[in-house]
Every structure is written in structure tokens, then in C-alpha cells.
DNA sequence: TTTACGATCTAT
DNA sequence: TAGATCGTAAAT
């Protein structure tokens, strides 16, 4: 049994948190059973100045969770059909979060396969909305605490990805965002 | 009240 | 390369 990452893990910049989250294990436990996967891709979103961040609109009903304490889930609905999961980072009052973009399947393979059918294994968890579909994550988990097992969603310590194995790029899906935000290398991922 | 569009995914 | 599909935020 691994340890659940504590609030202090998230109480730093989203970029540092995103790097540290690579290799950690996202766990979902519910009526259907336990599903988990190793985080292999994430993106940092930081502050009202970051024009790719939802907090660019300021504190609203949607973004209020990002202004809250670190270690909570910020889950938003987009494109009329998809949910995406973030971990809130930084001190309370500072809007920042890490988008969980891809996992390597670890536990609950049968359940993942059923929910992601008929896609091949390589396409099961390689996108933020795919993760939420496979792990049954949606709006009712918004603002839940990822540092306790209470709501059935948390992140456990596992083997960190060495710095040398971390790759970076611009964030995905923000084509209409002005520079420098469009190109800033706040996406981190690993191929190992 | 209306409009435009989005931190996406899938099939074509 | 386009269609699905609707909440959010800004414009009217």
C-alpha cells in the first residue's frame, strides 16, 4: 500500500508539481472496483496572466476551485461532452493547476478495456478526457480532496521519473492563445 | 438573452 | 478534416 501524496506535495508551482507528478499513480476506487494508472503526461496552468488558463477570466463559479487550497481536484466540462481532471497547486488564493493528460494503465485493466472499447490499448488513456471516461471521473468529483481516500479519487506516491527522462513541449489544444503562452513549454511527459 | 468558442475525441 | 454537443464568459 503506497502513501497518498499530501497537500505539501502540491503546495508549489504547477510546473514543479507537474514534473513531480510524472511516475506517480492516479487511483480511482468506487463501486465497480479499483483502477489506477501511472501519470506519464501533464500540463501546467498558472495564474490570471496565463491566457491559456481558465483563470484568465478571474474568479468565477467555474474557476473558484483553482483559487482554493492545493491538492484538490479541478474538473471541468468541455466541448459539450468531455470531462478533464486537474490537480490544484500552489498556495490558497493563487489560481494554478496541473492537467493530467495521459496514464499508463496499471490496475483495473478489464474495466478500462470495457469503458474504452473498441479502442486499442495504446489509445485507452492517452488524453485527458479519455482518462475521465475510463476512470468514471466527472463533475460530481469537482473540488474533492485528492489527499485523502474519502471521495474515491487520489494520487499515490510511486517511482518518480528522473529529470533526464522528462521531455517538454508547448501545451496541447490552445491554438488560439496568444504568445508567449501558446509556445511556453509547460507540457511535460515521459516515454519511458 | 444571444453569441462564440473551447485545456477533446472519433470517424471519415 | 469535420462533426458531435453544451457550459461558460463576453457581447448585445
**pLDDT tens per residue across span A1-42:** 689 999 999 999 999 999 999 999 999 999 999 999 999 999
Is A123's CB less than 7 Å from nucleic acid strand B?
A: yes
**Residue range A32-77, pLDDT digits in tens:** 999 999 999 999 999 999 999 999 999 999 999 999 999 999 999 9
C1’ B7 / CA A156, Å:
24
Note the pLDDT tens digit of each residue in A79-136: 999 999 999 999 999 999 999 999 999 999 999 999 999 999 999 999 999 999 999 9
- pTM to 2 decimal places: 0.98
Alpha-carbon gap, residue A163 to A160, rounded angstroms: 9
- Rounded Cα gap, residues A123 and A113, in angstroms: 10
In this prediction, residue A192 carries a pLDDT of: 84
Grid coordinates belonging to A164:
533526464
Check pLDDT > 80 for residue A162: yes
Domain boundaries, chain A: 7-159
A7-159: what fold?
A: 3-methyladenine DNA Glycosylase; Chain A (3.10.300)
CA atoms within a 13 Å half-sphere pointing along the CA-CB vector of A191: 2
> Which pLDDT does position A1 carry in this prediction?
66
Q: Residue A73 in contact with residue A153, Cβ under 8 Å?
A: yes
Name A74's Cβ contacts closer than 8 Å, sequence gap at least 6: A65, A66, A85, A86, A87, A88, A97, A142, A143
**The pLDDT of residue A190:** 98
The region, left, alpha or beta by phi > 0 then psi within -120 to 50, assigned to residue A173 is left
Determine if strand B comes within 7 Å of the CB of A173: yes
- The pLDDT assigned to A2 comes to 82
- pLDDT tens for residues A169-186? 999 999 999 999 999 999
Strand C bases within 7 angstroms of protein beta carbons: 4-10
Amino acid at each position: 500500500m503506497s502513501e497518498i501524496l499530501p497537500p505539501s506535495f502540491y503546495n508549489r508551482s504547477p510546473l514543479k508539481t507537474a514534473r513531480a507528478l510524472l511516475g506517480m499513480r492516479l487511483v480511482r476506487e468506487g463501486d465497480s472496483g479499483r483502477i489506477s494508472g501511472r501519470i506519464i503526461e501533464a500540463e501546467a496552468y498558472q495564474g490570471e496572466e496565463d491566457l491559456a488558463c481558465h483563470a484568465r477570466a478571474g474568479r468565477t463559479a467555474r474557476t473558484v476551485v483553482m483559487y482554493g487550497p492545493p491538492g484538490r481536484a479541478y474538473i471541468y466540462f468541455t466541448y459539450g461532452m468531455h470531462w478533464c481532471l486537474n490537480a490544484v497547486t500552489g498556495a490558497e488564493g493563487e489560481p494554478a493547476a496541473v492537467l493530467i493528460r495521459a496514464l499508463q494503465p496499471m490496475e483495473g485493466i478489464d474495466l478500462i478495456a470495457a469503458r474504452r472499447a473498441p479502442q486499442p490499448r495504446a489509445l485507452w488513456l492517452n488524453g485527458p478526457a479519455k482518462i475521465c471516461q475510463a476512470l468514471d471521473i466527472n463533475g460530481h468529483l469537482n473540488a474533492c480532496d485528492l489527499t485523502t481516500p474519502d471521495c474515491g479519487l487520489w494520487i499515490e506516491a510511486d517511482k518518480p521519473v528522473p529529470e533526464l527522462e522528462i521531455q517538454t513541449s508547448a501545451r496541447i489544444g490552445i491554438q488560439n492563445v496568444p504568445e508567449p503562452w501558446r509556445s511556453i513549454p509547460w507540457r511535460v511527459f515521459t516515454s519511458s
